[in-house]
Amino acid sequence: MADKKQLPGHIAIIMDGNGRWAKSRKLPRVSGHAMGAKRVTEIVQAASDLGVKALSLYAFSTENWSRPQQEISALMKLLVFYLQRQVKKLTKNKIRFVASGNIAGLPETARQVILNTIEKTENNRGMIFNLCVNYGGRQEIVDACRRIAEQVVTGQKQIGDIDEAVVTGSLYYPELAEVDLLIRTSGEERISNFLLWQIAYAELYFSPVFWPDFTKIDLLAAIADYQERERRFGGI
């Protein structure tokens, strides 16, 4: 059982296996995503109840646009439906919702509901729930480079001023710069362009469970595993 005193401050999850979950039940892929959305509700609640400070979930990558249009539309609809239904509950639990990624590049309805949820929850001071949508880790670093370059061009910064803290400060959410525990479900063991800067010292946990089957018990098992590890951050 997880020890509440040594919780990972920031947990990031690559929610994988929705399609295979559906296929193994002879259901359309979209059913896997729908069940996956229910798990999002459960895991957000569980992490917040435990006292985790930040939870990042990978909902849609910059590479996911290559999926069939019908699947993309279904994912966007699920996202809209989820946020519309959950916004009150997020506030009740003092959860602050933020979104990482190219939100301006999303379909209008999805963009609006995301911005609306960010605004409605911005004063909440409990867990930060960071939904990564139209997100790519390399793109986030490119965006940070552009911001820094602009400051150099306008004379606000010198090249010599650029260090890790400056790059961190130019990320989408600098307060989410350190991931403690990265979980990927479905047995795949890849990073897939997720939070590349932020996972520098993260502990990695790969679960064989498909995301639509990933419950609070599985989250607790991942946290318990994390708590057994000795984190040295490059020291001895």
**Chain residues in the site for ligand FPP (CB under 6 A):** 15-20, 33, 36-37, 40, 59, 64, 75, 78-79, 82, 131, 186, 211
Toward ligand FPP, which CB reaches closer, 35 or 199? 35
Residue of this chain nearest to ligand FPP (CB atom)? 19
Toward ligand FPP, which CB reaches closer, 65 or 201? 65
Secondary structure of residue 96 in the 3-state scheme: strand
Toward ligand FPP, which CB reaches closer, 22 or 223? 22
Type of residue at 112: Q
Separation of alpha carbons 120 and 6, rounded Å: 31
Q: Kindly compute the dihedral angle of the four CA atoms of residues 200, 203, 208, 212, in this order, to the nearest 10 degrees.
A: -80
Element (H, E) at 14: strand 10-14
Give the shortest CB-39-to-ligand FPP separation in angstroms. 7
Toward ligand FPP, which CB reaches closer, 119 or 150? 119
**Is 179:130 a contact under the CB 8 Å cutoff?**
no
**Is 9:230 a contact under the CB 8 Å cutoff?**
no
Catalytic residue among 3, 16, 18, 163: 16
- Give residues with Cβ within 8 angstroms of 99, minimum separation 6: 114, 118, 130, 131, 132, 133
Give the shortest CB-74-to-ligand FPP separation in angstroms. 9
16 is catalytic: yes
Give the shortest CB-121-to-ligand FPP separation in angstroms. 14
Toward ligand FPP, which CB reaches closer, 81 or 201? 81
Give the shortest CB-160-to-ligand FPP separation in angstroms. 41
| Count helices and strands in the chain by DSSP H and E runs | 7, 6
Catalytic residue among 3, 18, 49, 64: 64
Separation of alpha carbons 50 and 46, rounded Å: 6
Give the shortest CB-37-to-ligand FPP separation in angstroms. 4
Positions marked active-site: 16, 64
